[in-house]
Structure 1
Amino acid sequence: MNYDKATLKKFILNYHSVQKNDDVNACNNDLRDFFRLNNPVETDFYDDNNIEDVILYNELKAIVEKVGTDKDHYIFWLLSEGYSYKEIGNVFYVNEGRVKQIFDVLLRKLS
């Protein structure tokens, strides 16, 4: 994997907007409808999921676990979940500028 820093940053900061539907029970299928032959089949289970984004996220997560510290891993995860630099800074008792610095160092490790 060979990505530049800007691409990785944009991906991580926007990953929370990727529609994830991992719950099979979300199909709203009723058990009584299971054996009906005329029941329309829902085939769009994976249509809302961008599989390539999920794969890339999992690859990045594995790399962060190898090359980063625990703090790097948590910052990576929180940013990918949509938390702001300020919110993450409050968790670690640092200012948002420090969170950006830590994230920048992590991005250099990833790229």
Structure 2
Amino acid sequence: MIVSLSKISAQTTPSSTSDSVMVTVFLKHIQDSPVDSIQMRAMTQQFYERIEESHARVVSWYVAMGVGQILTLKFPAKDLRMVNNIFEKGAWGSFHTEFYPTYDFAPIWPQMLEKEKALKKNK
């Protein structure tokens, strides 16, 4: 049995009528500043409060040693400008920022695993 990758892709793409988007943000520490001063500047700029007051939901927020913080936000697509503004006003100067569109692969992974096993079995 041969399974085409285009069929796998079409069958496993989550369909949703939701207009929400997820963005993963790398908040890279400015390494010539101690972490206390980085956090103080972010707090002075009300970064954490701006996120709390926004329509964005924090999906995850981790610290990665040697990198900084990695946070994933989910929010209505119409609020993209507002979320961008949170980082411009609250995080810039404290962190170097990188943004990545994100989606939840966890529900798709079991399907891909089963298809992979089928491919292996039919080799």
Normalized against structure 1, the TM-score is what? 0.31
Bigger proportion of residues as strand:
2
Normalized against structure 2, the TM-score is what? 0.29
